[in-house]
C-alpha cells in the first residue's frame, strides 16, 4: 500500500536577487493507494508549486517539512530517484526536446523506472497499445518529444507516460487545462484506467470540469499556499456553484 | 542597373593564385581575428617547413574515376581561386592532386571514399582535390581525414547542370594536428549540392566551405556537426555567394563544447547580390556549452543587395543545456548523465541522421558517444 505523506511543507522560490518568496506555507496531505485526491484553488494559490516541489524541481526550495513515500524521505532523493521510487508528475507545460524521439524517450524512461530494458518487441507492442488507448497517432512515436505537438497532444503524451511508467502515486498538474471536451474525455479515461489500480492520484486543477469524468474521493481547497478546506466530492460541487471567492479571503487572512 | 554600378559586397572581395597578393595575417584582420595564428605552425606566413605527408587512399564507385595528377593538370583551379594566404600557399605548394570525375548522366552506385591519412605533423603537407560531377550525374563523396598532420589544402566541387553531389568531410584528426582547408562548390544550373562537415579531432581545424552559383535553380545545403574538447580550436567559416537568380541555400551548423579552452568559431556569410532575385536562404548556428571554460564565437552576416528575395534569414544561439529539458527527462526516472547524453545526442543527431552513408553516419554517432563518455568520466 503506497502512501505519499506531506507534512507541514514550506516551499520558497528564489528570485535570483533579493532573497526568496515563500509560496507554500505549511501543507499537510496524505495520499494512499486507491485514492484520488483533487486539489483545487485559484491561480497563484501554490498548487503547481506543490507539484513541482514534490517532483524535485531545482527552482523550488523546501525550507521545512517532510515528504515521504512509503516512509522513504523523498526530499533527500534526486529528481530521477523520486521517479524511480514511484512518483510521477504530469506536467502542465511539457517541454519540447529536439531530436529525442518519443519512442526512444519512453524506452529510456521505462528502462530506468523498471530497472531493466524491456524486450524491444514487447515494448513496441505495449507502446502501440497504450498509444491506441489514448487515440495517439502511431506516427508520433518517431517524432521529437513534444516538438510541434498541440496542447492536447502534449497532455495525452503525459498520460501515455503515466500509463507506461505505472508509478505508485501520480501528481497531475492541470492536465485538464487547454483541452477540448473530446481530448478531456480521452485523458480522463487514461487517468481512470491508472487510478483503478492500486495507485494514488493527486489531481491538481483550477476547474471542476474534469471532476465530471474523474471522480475524486477527497477534495482539498488550496489558497494562500495551504489547504484551507477539505471534504468529499460535494466540496467540488460547492466550488462549481460559488467559486473560490470566500477561500481567497480565507487564504489572505492566514 | 549596369554592371559598372553593381554594388560590391564587402565580404571576401579578394581572390588570387599568388601568395604575395595576400599580406601575412597579423590576427587583427576580420577573417583571422578568431584564429590562433601561433598554433598554425607557419602555414600562414611562409615559415612552415615542407615535407609533411598526407597520403590518400581511394575507394571509388565503379562508375567514378579517381586520378592522381600533377600540378599542370588543366582541370585544377578552374572553379576556385584562393581567397586567403594559407589557401594560396596550399595552391602553390602541392605536388600532386586528386581528380574525381563522375561522367555525364551517370548515377554512382556507391559512395566514393578518399581516405586522407596524415603521417607526420612536424612538417607541412599540402594537397589539392577537385571533384567534377558532370551534367545530370549524381554521386556521394566522402573525405575522411585521420592521422596526424600539419596540413593545408583546397577542395573544389564542380557540380554540373542538373547534377547532384553529396559530400561528407570528416575531420577526425589525432591530437596535435593542424588543418586549414577551403572547400568550394560551384554549382551549375539546377545543380544540387549537400555538404556535411563533421569536425571532431585536431588541435586547430579551420574549414572554409563556400558556394557559388553559375546558373539559376542551384540548391546548396551545408550542414556541420562539431564537438570541441578542452584546448581544441574548431573553426568553420561559411560563405554562400548568391549572384544569380532563384537559387536556394540552407546552412545548419551545430556544435557541443566541453572543458577548458575549447573554442568553437562559426562565421556564416551570405551575400545576395543585386542580380540574385528570388534567392531563398537561411543559415543557423547553435552551440551547446556543456562545461565552464569554453568559448564560442558565432557571427552570422547577411548582406542583401536586392529587394527581391524569396526568403533570407539567419539565427545563432549558444547556451548551456536547458535545465527544463534535464528536469523533464529526470522526472521520468532517467539519470542526470543519461538525460544529458540524450539531449546532446538529440541536438546533434538531427543533423547526423541526414548523413546519407550509413557507415559514416554510424561512425559519427560512435564518435559523439565517445566524446560524451569523455565528458561523463570526470
The CATH number of the domain holding residue A82 is 3.40.50.300
Q: Which residue numbers of B have CB closer than 8 Å to A's CBs? A: 322-325, 327-336, 338-339, 342-343, 345-350
Shortest alpha-carbon distance between residue A245 and chain B (Å): 34
* B82 pLDDT tier (thresholds 50, 70, 90): very high
Rounded distance between C-alpha atoms, residue A104 and residue A120, angstroms: 11
CA distances from B107 to A109, A121, A235, B133, B219 (A): 44, 38, 73, 10, 18
Average pLDDT of the residues in B192-212: 98
Q: Is residue A157 part of a domain?
A: no
User: Which chain A residues are Cβ-neighbours of B368 within 8 angstroms?
Assistant: none
Q: Provide the mean pLDDT of chain B.
A: 95
Q: Give residue A66's domain range.
A: 3-94+169-253
Region of B348 on the Ramachandran plot (φ > 0 left; ψ -120 to 50 alpha; else beta): alpha
Bridge partners of B2, per DSSP, are none
Q: Which residues of A touch B338 (CB under 8 A)?
A: 108, 112
* Chain A residues near residue B335 by CB distance under 8 angstroms: 80, 112
Identify the H or E element spanning A48: helix A47-55
Helices (H) and strands (E) in chain A, counts: 8, 12
Cβ-Cβ contacts under 8 Å between A and B: the total is 78
- Mean pLDDT on B351-370: 95
pLDDT for A240 equals: 85
pLDDT at residue number B285: 98
Cα torsion through A136, A140, A146, A152, rounded to 10: -20
Closest-CA residue to A72 (of A169, A191, A198): A169
Q: What is the ipTM metric for this complex?
A: 0.95
Measure CB to CB from residue B343 to each of A97, A112, A113 and give the nearest one: A97
B111 phi and psi angles, rounded to 5 deg: -70, 150
Mean per-residue pLDDT for B241-266? Answer: 97
Q: Judge: B331–A165 Cβ closer than 8 Å, yes or no.
A: no
From chain B, the residues in CB contact with A161 under 8 A are 332
A39: left (phi over 0), alpha (psi -120 to 50) or beta: beta
Q: Which residues of chain A have a CB within 8 Å of the CB of B347? A: 98-99
User: Closest partner residue to B324 among A88, A95, A144, by Cβ?
Assistant: A95
Nine cell digits for residue B70: 600533377
List % helix, strand, coil for chain B (3-state, nearest 5): 15, 45, 35
**Is there a contact between B332 and A112 if contact means CB atoms under 8 Å apart?**
yes
A112 contacts B333? CB cut-off 8 A: yes
A121 assigned to some structural domain: no
Are B225 and B198 spatial neighbours (Cβ–Cβ below 8 Å)?
yes
Q: How many domains does chain A have?
A: 1
Is residue A118 situated within a structural domain?
A: no
pLDDT classification of B9: cutoffs 50, 70, 90: low
Q: Coil, helix or strand for B354? A: coil
Grid coordinates belonging to B34:
578568431
Structural domain contains residue A135: no
pLDDT given at position B219: 98
What values do phi and psi take at B311, rounded to 5? -175, 140
pLDDT of residue B14: 85
Best interface-test mutation with A: which of B321, B326, B333, B337 has the largest number of A CBs within 10 A? B333
Chain B hits for A99, CB-CB cut-off 8 Å, are 345-350
Give dist(CA B279, CA B92) in Å, integer.
35
CB-CB neighbors (< 8 A) of B342 in chain A: 97, 100, 104-105, 108
Q: Which residue of chain B has the CA closest to A144?
A: B346
Alpha carbon distances (Å) from B140 to A22, B128, B133, B198, B308: 61, 19, 10, 15, 34
Name the CA radius of gyration of chain A, rounded: 18
C-alpha cell at B50: 615542407
Q: From CA A13, how far away is CA B324, in angstroms rounded? A: 16
Q: Which residues of B touch A102 (CB under 8 A)?
A: none
pLDDT band at A15; cut points 50, 70, 90: low
Terminal Cα-to-Cα distance of chain B (whole angstroms): 61
Distance set, CA B185 to CA A19, A251, B40, B160 (Å) = 57, 69, 25, 11
> CA separation (Å) from B360 to A13, B182, B196, B234?
48, 22, 11, 20
Above 70 in pLDDT, residue A88?
A: yes
Q: If DSSP states are collapsed to H, E and C, what string results for B281-339?
A: EEEEEEEEECCCCCEEEEEEEEEECCCCEEEEEEEEEEEECCHHHHHHHHCCCCCHHHH
Residue A83 lies in a domain: yes
Residue A134 lies in a domain: no
Q: Three-state DSSP class for A112? A: helix
- In chain A the first and final C-alpha atoms are separated, in Å, by 34
% of chain B beyond a pLDDT of 70: 96
For A119-141, what is each residue's pLDDT tens digit?
Answer: 999 999 999 999 999 999 999 99
Whether the per-residue pLDDT at A209 is higher than 60: the answer is yes
Contacting residues of B for A55, CB less than 8 Å apart: 331
What is the pLDDT, as a whole number, of residue A254?
Answer: 46
A75-84, A107-116, A238-247, B296-305: least confidently modelled range: A238-247
Sign of the alpha-carbon dihedral angle for A91, A97, A101, A104? negative
* 3-class secondary structure, B117: strand
Interface test with B, best of A55, A100, A157, A161 (most B CBs within 10 A): A100
Helices A181-195 + A120-133 axis angle, to 10: 130
State yes or no: pLDDT of A109 exceeds 80: yes
**Are the CB atoms for B237 and B208 separated by under 8 Å?**
yes
Nearest to A109 among B325, B332, B349 (CB): B332
Q: Do A97 and B330 touch (CB under 8 A)?
A: no
Residue of chain A nearest B351, judged by CA positions: A99
Domain annotation covers residue A222: yes
Chain B residues within an 8 Å CB radius of A100: 329, 342-343, 345-346
Asked if residue B12 has pLDDT above 90, the reply is no
Please, which residues bridge with residue A219 across strands?
A: A38, A231
Q: Supply B246's cell numbers.
A: 532563384
- Examine residue A175 and state whether it is found in any structural domain, yes or no: yes
Show which residues on chain A lie within 8 Å of chain B, measured between beta carbons.
55-58, 78-80, 82-84, 88-89, 91, 94-95, 97-100, 104-105, 108-109, 112-113, 144, 161, 165
Is A97's CB within 8 Å of B338's CB?
no
**Cβ-defined contact of A108 to B325 (cutoff 8 Å):** no
pLDDT in the model for residue B1: 38
pLDDT digits (tens, 9 = 90+) for B128-173: 999 999 999 999 999 999 999 999 999 999 999 999 999 999 999 9
Amino acid at each position: 500500500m503506497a502512501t505519499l505523506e506531506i507534512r507541514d511543507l514550506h516551499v520558497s522560490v528564489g528570485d535570483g536577487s533579493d532573497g526568496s518568496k515563500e509560496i507554500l506555507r505549511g501543507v499537510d496531505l496524505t495520499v494512499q493507494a486507491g485514492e484520488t485526491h483533487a486539489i483545487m484553488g485559484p491561480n497563484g494559490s501554490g498548487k503547481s508549486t506543490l507539484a513541482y516541489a514534490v517532483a524535485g524541481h531545482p527552482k523550488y526550495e523546501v525550507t521545512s517539512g517532510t515528504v515521504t513515500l512509503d516512509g522513504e524521505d523523498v526530499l533527500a532523493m534526486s529528481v530521477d530517484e523520486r521517479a524511480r521510487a514511484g512518483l510521477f508528475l504530469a506536467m502542465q507545460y511539457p517541454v519540447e526536446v529536439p531530436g529525442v524521439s518519443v519512442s526512444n524517450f519512453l524506452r529510456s524512461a521505462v528502462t530506468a523506472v523498471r530497472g531493466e530494458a524491456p524486450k524491444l518487441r514487447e515494448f513496441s507492442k505495449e507502446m502501440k497499445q497504450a498509444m491506441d488507448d489514448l487515440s495517439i497517432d502511431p506516427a508520433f512515436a518517431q517524432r521529437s518529444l513534444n516538438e510541434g505537438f498541440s496542447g492536447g497532444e502534449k497532455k495525452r503524451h503525459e498520460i501515455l507516460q503515466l500509463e507506461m511508467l505505472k508509478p505508485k502515486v501520480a501528481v497531475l498538474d492541470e492536465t485538464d487545462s487547454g483541452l477540448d471536451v473530446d481530448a478531456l474525455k480521452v485523458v480522463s479515461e487514461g487517468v481512470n484506467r491508472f487510478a483503478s489500480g492500486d495507485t494514488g492520484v493527486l489531481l491538481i486543477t483550477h476547474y471542476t470540469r474534469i471532476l465530471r469524468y474523474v471522480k475524486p474521493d477527497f477534495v482539498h481547497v488550496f489558497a494562500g499556499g495551504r489547504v484551507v478546506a477539505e471534504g468529499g466530492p460535494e466540496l467540488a460541487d460547492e466550488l462549481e456553484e460559488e467559486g473560490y471567492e470566500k477561500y481567497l479571503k480565507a487564504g489572505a487572512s492566514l | 542597373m549596369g554592371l559598372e554600378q553593381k554594388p560590391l559586397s564587402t565580404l571576401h572581395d579578394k581572390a588570387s593564385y599568388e601568395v604575395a597578393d595576400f599580406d601575412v595575417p597579423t590576427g587583427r584582420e576580420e577573417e583571422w581575428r578568431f584564429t590562433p595564428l601561433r598554433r598554425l605552425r607557419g602555414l600562414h606566413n611562409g615559415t612552415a617547413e615542407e615535407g609533411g605527408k598526407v597520403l590518400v587512399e581511394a575507394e571509388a564507385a565503379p562508375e567514378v574515376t579517381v586520378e592522381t595528377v600533377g600540378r599542370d593538370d588543366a582541370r585544377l583551379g578552374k572553379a576556385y581561386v584562393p581567397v586567403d594566404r594559407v589557401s594560396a600557399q596550399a595552391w602553390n605548394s602541392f605536388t600532386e592532386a586528386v581528380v574525381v570525375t563522375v561522367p555525364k548522366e551517370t548515377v554512382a552506385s556507391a559512395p566514393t571514399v578518399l581516405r586522407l591519412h596524415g603521417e607526420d605533423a612536424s612538417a607541412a603537407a599540402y594537397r589539392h582535390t577537385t571533384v567534377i560531377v558532370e551534367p545530370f550525374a549524381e554521386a556521394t563523396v566522402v573525405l575522411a581525414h585521420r592521422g596526424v598532420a600539419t596540413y593545408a589544402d583546397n577542395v573544389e566541387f564542380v557540380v554540373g547542370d542538373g547534377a547532384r553531389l553529396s559530400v561528407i568531410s570528416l575531420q577526425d584528426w589525432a591530437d596535435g594536428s593542424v588543418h586549414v582547408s577551403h572547400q568550394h562548390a560551384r554549382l551549375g544550373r539546377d545543380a544540387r549540392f549537400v555538404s556535411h562537415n563533421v569536425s571532431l579531432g585536431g588541435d586547430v581545424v579551420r574549414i572554409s566551405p563556400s558556394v557559388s552559383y553559375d546558373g539559376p535553380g542551384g540548391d546548396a545545403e551545408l550542414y556541420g556537426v562539431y564537438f570541441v574538447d578542452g584546448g581544441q580550436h574548431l573553426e568553420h567559416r561559411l560563405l554562400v555567394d548568391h549572384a544569380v537568380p532563384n537559387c536556394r541555400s540552407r546552412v545548419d551548423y551545430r556544435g557541443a563544447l566541453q572543458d577548458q579552452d575549447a573554442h568553437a568559431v562559426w562565421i556564416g556569410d551570405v551575400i545576395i547580390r543585386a542580380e540574385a532575385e528570388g534567392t531563398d536562404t537561411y543559415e543557423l548556428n547553435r552551440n551547446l556549452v556543456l562545461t565552464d571554460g569554453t568559448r564560442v564565437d558565432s557571427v552570422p552576416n547577411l548582406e542583401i543587395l536586392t529587394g527581391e528575395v524569396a526568403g533570407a534569414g539567419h539565427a545563432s544561439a549558444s547556451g548551456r543545456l536547458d535545465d527544463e529539458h534535464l528536469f523533464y527527462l529526470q522526472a521520468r526516472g532517467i539519470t542526470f548523465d543519461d538525460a544529458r547524453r540524450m539531449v546532446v545526442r538529440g541536438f546533434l543527431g538531427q543533423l547526423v541522421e541526414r548523413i546519407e552513408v550509413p557507415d559514416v553516419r554510424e561512425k559519427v554517432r560512435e564518435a559523439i558517444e565517445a566524446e560524451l563518455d569523455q565528458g561523463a568520466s570526470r
